[in-house]
Structure 1
C-alpha cells in the first residue's frame, strides 16, 4: 500500500504541475470569471504548481510509511482540490485529488513510521532540489506557451527570466499577452518564495541531535564487556562514539548500530548474555520498523547470524576474520619464510619496538603518538565502523595496547630487558629475538634527548581488548618513508610478547570474500568461482581486497567467517551502499566532520 500510494501521489503532483501550466478551457474560464476574479485564478494556478511540486517530493516519504509525510500529503491534497476549482473549474483534476485523499485517509493505519532525525544538510538539499524543480517548471511553462513570447527567446534568456522571476524581478523576455505575463510572474515568484521559505525553515529549526553513545550507555556497555567481552572480537568497538545502542528488555544485551541513508546498520554480534540476544534483536527490528528503516547487520559471527535468521533476516557470508593463536605461532618453516625475512631485514635496520598498555603511558607520550598518527594519515579518509574504534589514547581505554616502532636509537640509550620489565611490568616487551634491546617510549626519548639524537617513531599498531586474554587490531599506521616489512615486524613482536600481556589470541584484519579468492585460484576451480574471483581482483584496485587477504595469510591464522544479514535480496544494493558509506569507502562530496575523540570533563 505505501508503494502504491507513493506512486499515485507522484503522478497526481505531476498532473497538478502540468494542469496549472497548460491553457485553460475557454468555456470553463468564462464561467469562472463570473465567480472569481482573473487575478485570483492566476494566483490559484501558481499555488497549484507549488502543491504539485511538494506532492512529488513527499512521495518518497509516503513510500517509507512516514507519518509526517502522510499528514502533509493529506493537507496538500485538500488544498489542491480547492485550487483546481479556483484556477479553472478543473473538476476532473479535483476529483482525482479527492479520490487519492480519500484513499489515504482510509489507509492511514499504514503510515506509522516516525520521522528521521533532522540536520542542517536537509536545508541545503531542499534548496537545491526546489530550485532545480522551479527552473524546470519555468522552462516547461515557456515551452508550452512559446507562442506567447515575443522576439528572440534563447535558452539563456529563458534561464535569466526564470532566475530573476524567482525573486520578483522582471526579465528580458516580452510576451504578447498581459494575462500570460502575469501568470508567469506569479508562478515564478510563488516558486521562489516557497523555495526560500522551506529552506529558511529547515535551516532555522532546532536540529535533532545525531544518535550517539550516551555516558549511561557507555557505562552499561563496559559492564557487559567485563562480563561477556570474550565472546566477540568486535565487542569493544561498540564503544565507538558515533554508534548508538539499543537494549533488550532485561538490559542484559544490546545491539550497536548507526543509521546510514535509511539503513539501520548493526555491527558485530549483540553484546551481552546470549539468552538475552533475542530481546535485543527484537527491540532493534522494532525500532527499524517504527522509523521505516531497513535493518541490516555487518560482521556478525555464525552464532549471531543464527540468532538474526531466527528473527527473520537472511545471512550471507562475506568474509573471514584472521585470528592468530599466540602460543602456536612460530616463524619456523618454509611457509613463514617471507615474514621471517621481512622481520630480520627490519631488525638489521636498527628498529626497536615498545609494547605497552595505554594506562602505562603518560599523557605526553600519548599526545606525541596521536600527533604523529595524524601527520601520517594526512588528508586521507579515516575508514572504519564495524572494526575500528576511531580514537587512540583515551584514558577510558586503558586496557588498549599500543605497539610502537622506533628507529635511530643510539646504543647508549637502549634499556635491557630486565630493567625495562622492572620499570613497566608485564606491559613492556622484552628484547627481540636477535638481541636488539627494547626501550620504553618514555625512557628512549629522555635518554636520547641527552645525546642529541632522539629516536623517531615510524609506525604503530593499536589493539583493543578482546575479553581478558585477547586483542583485536584497531589501527595500523606507518610512515610511508619507513622500511618495508615494518608492519610484519610489529605484528610478529606483538605475538612474541603476548605472554607478557596475558594474551592468548590476536584478531588481525578482516579479509573480504576470502573463501572466494582462495577457491578461485585452486586447480580445477569452476567458471563461476573464477569469474567471481576475477571481479574481486578487479575491485581490489580500489578496495585492497586481495592484498589484505594475502597480508593476513602470511601469519597462518585461523579463519573465522563473518556474515552480513539483510531482510530481502531487493534491499542488498541499498545495504551495500550504506556499508560502503559507513566504512568510509564511499564518501559523498560534502563536508563531513571527522570522528573526534569523545570529550570528557
Structure 2
C-alpha cells in the first residue's frame, strides 16, 4: 500500500503586532520619563546638548535659538511629571501629552529641521491616539497640601538642577566662585535676578534663562495645584452610615471588624441590591479596604464588583487588609486577586476564660498587685455614662495618645462617645485611695479601654489609653475586668488586638525551626523596635485566645510594597502630610456619585 506522504504544514506568517493595549500606558510613560531625563541632561550639560543623542531628547519643545537650554530643561521636568500620570492611565496626562507632542514635532521641523525629532514625536503620539481608551482614569482625591508639597519638592529640585547648570560651565566662569556664591546665584536666578557669578560670552544668558525657567515652572505648578478645582477624598455621609448600620444590625455578627466600617473618613460602595457594601480609603493611589464586606454574603460579589469598577475608573491599586478566610476566598474568586496570610486576630471566648491555672499565673498576679495598690475598674456601655464623665474620658484619651496623629484604620473607630455609638463599651480604671489617689486633671481616671460592638453578643477592642504616671499593668487589669463583666452585659466573645505575622513568631521560636524561619523571626523582632509586632503577639497570648487568621488581598506581588506603604500611612505610622490647621479646613462636601455612574438614589431603589 502506497501511502501519501503528508505535506508539511506551512507555518502561517506571523503578522507583527504592537504592544497589548493595557501595556501601552506603562510603555508610553517609561518613554516619556526617558526623554525627560535626556532633555534635562541636554539642558544642563552643553556637550550633551550638541551630541547625536539629543535628537531623541527633542520629542517635546526643544532648542529654539537662545532659549534652547531653558526649554530643554523645563520640558524634561514636565515630561518626568507627566510620565507618572501616563503610567496610571490618567486622562489629564493623556490630554497634556497629546497637546505637547504635536507642538514639539512642529517646532522641531520649523526651527531645527530635525526630521528624526518629528518622527520620534509622532511615534509616541501614534499609540496615544490609537489607544486613547486606555487613558480614562479619573482624578485622585487631593487637598491643598499638594501645592505646598509641590513647592517644597520642586523648589529643592530646581535648586539642585540650578546648581548643576551654574557649575556646568567651569571654563567660561570669571574667576573661581565659591559654593556659597553659586548657591546665591541660583537663588537669585530662580527669581529672574542676576547673581554674583559671571561668565564669558553668551553663557550668562543661557544660565539666566535656565534658572528663570526653573523658577517659573515651580511657581506655575504650585499656583495651579493651589487653585485647581478640588476633588476631596470621599467621606461617609449620614445616609451611607445609616445604611451601613442597618446592614450591621442584620449581619454584623459575622465579622469582628464590621463596626470599624463606620469610620467617617472612609468611603463606601454598595452592591446593586443594597444588601452588601465595601468601605475603603484611598491612600497614595491604593484603594484600601479593610475587613470583610458588610452585609449578606450572597450579595458580596455585587459590592466587590462595584469596588473593582471604582478602582479601574481611577486607576487605583485595589487591596484589602485584614479580611477573614471566607472573605479572602470570595475576593480571590470574584476578582482573580491573590491572598496572603497577614497575621492573626486574638479572640477570647468569655465562657472559657478564667484566671485560674498555671498558664494565667502572671496575669493573675499582676491584676492582684494592681488591685492591692488601690485601683478599681468600671465596665459600662457608652450610653450609661453621663455627659461630664464622657467629656472627661474623651479629653483623657486625646491627651494620653502617644503620637500627634490618631493611629488605626482597619481596627479603629476613630472616635469615642459619639451619640450614635451608645452600644460601645468603655472600661475605665480609677485610683481610689492612698497618697496618689488625689484627683488630678481627670479626677481619679487612670486608664481607658474602648470596645465596639461585634454583632449582638460580642465586642472588638478599639483603643487602649492610660496615664503615663499610672502603675504598669493597666491594660491587663481592664481586659480582665471587661472579660469578667461580659456575661452580665450579654457578651460571649471579645476580639483583642491583631498580631501581625503571629505564626512566624510562634513557629520561629520553637525547637526545630529552620534557618529561614529563624531569620524571618529575627527580622520581625528587629522591626518590633519601631512597630508593635512581637509585643502585641505576646500581650495577646497572655489571655489564651483562639487565633483567627487574617489576610491581605492584592493584585500582583509587585504591588505589595506599595500596599504596605499605603497601609502604614492609613494606620498612622507614616505621616507624609500634616493635618490642615483648623481655620483652613473646609466643610466636608456631599459625596459625589461613584465612577460607574450609579447614583446613591438609584442604588437605594434598585
Coarse TM-score class (shorter-chain normalised):
0.7 to 0.9
Q: CA deviation at 1:340?
A: 1.2
Q: CA deviation at 1:168?
A: 1.6
Q: How does 1:76-475 map to 2 (within 5 A)?
A: 76-85=100-109, 88-177=112-201, 179-310=202-333, 311-377=335-401, 379-408=403-432, 456-475=444-463
SS at match of 2:340: strand
SS at match of 2:352: coil
Mapped partners of 2:361, 2:88: distance in 1: 56
Q: CA deviation at 1:44?
A: 6.0
Q: CA deviation at 1:158?
A: 2.9
Superposition TM-score, scaled by structure 1 size: 0.85
Mapped partners of 1:58, 1:352: distance in 2: 61
Q: Is the 8 A contact 2:233 2:282 kept in 1?
A: no
Residue aligning to 1:553? 541
Mapped partners of 1:297, 1:527: distance in 2: 31
The answer as to 2:36 corresponding to 1:6 is no
Residue aligning to 1:529? 517
Q: Which moved more, 1:67-76 or 1:263-272?
A: 67-76
Superposition TM-score, scaled by structure 2 size: 0.84
Q: Is the 8 A contact 2:150 2:221 kept in 1?
A: yes
SS at match of 2:280: strand
Mapped partners of 2:181, 2:543: distance in 1: 68
Mapped partners of 2:565, 2:371: distance in 1: 43
Q: CA deviation at 1:3?
A: 1.7
Structure 2: 5+ residue runs without aligned partners? 1-23, 52-62, 589-606
Q: Tell me which of 480, 495, 501 is aligned to 1:507.
A: 495
Structure 1: 5+ residue runs without aligned partners? 27-38, 411-444
SS at match of 1:341: helix
Residue aligning to 1:29? none
Q: Deviations over 1:260-311 (max 9, x none)?
A: 1111111000000000111111111121111111111111001001001112
SS at match of 2:299: helix
Mapped partners of 1:93, 1:454: distance in 2: 72
SS at match of 2:379: strand
Residue aligning to 1:476? 464
Q: Tell me which of 564, 575, 579 is aligned to 1:592.
A: 579
Residue aligning to 1:417? none
The answer as to 2:473 corresponding to 1:485 is yes
**What do you get for the CA RMSD once the two structures are aligned?**
2.7
**Using a 3 Å threshold, how does the CA distance of structure 1 residues 59 and 25 change in structure 2: closer, same or farther?**
closer
SS at match of 2:141: coil
The answer as to 2:530 corresponding to 1:542 is yes
**Using a 3 Å threshold, how does the CA distance of structure 1 residues 188 and 94 change in structure 2: closer, same or farther?**
farther
Mapped partners of 1:381, 1:223: distance in 2: 31
Q: CA deviation at 1:455?
A: 5.7
Residue aligning to 1:583? 571
Q: CA deviation at 1:120?
A: 1.4
Q: Which moved more, 1:373-382 or 1:458-467?
A: 373-382
Q: Is the 8 A contact 1:45 1:87 kept in 2?
A: no
Mapped partners of 1:551, 1:133: distance in 2: 46
Q: Deviations over 1:222-252 (max 9, x none)?
A: 1111111101010000011211111111111
Q: Is the 8 A contact 1:466 1:472 kept in 2?
A: yes
Mapped partners of 1:152, 1:111: distance in 2: 50
The answer as to 2:587 corresponding to 1:564 is no
Q: Tell me which of 84, 94, 101 is aligned to 1:60.
A: 84
**Using a 3 Å threshold, how does the CA distance of structure 1 residues 376 and 89 change in structure 2: closer, same or farther?**
same
Q: Deviations over 1:486-527 (max 9, x none)?
A: 222211121111111111111111111111111122222222
SS at match of 1:269: coil
Mapped partners of 1:167, 1:250: distance in 2: 58
Residue aligning to 2:60? none
SS at match of 1:245: strand
Mapped partners of 2:208, 2:574: distance in 1: 43
Q: CA deviation at 1:142?
A: 4.0
Aligned residues between the structures: 546
SS at match of 1:277: helix
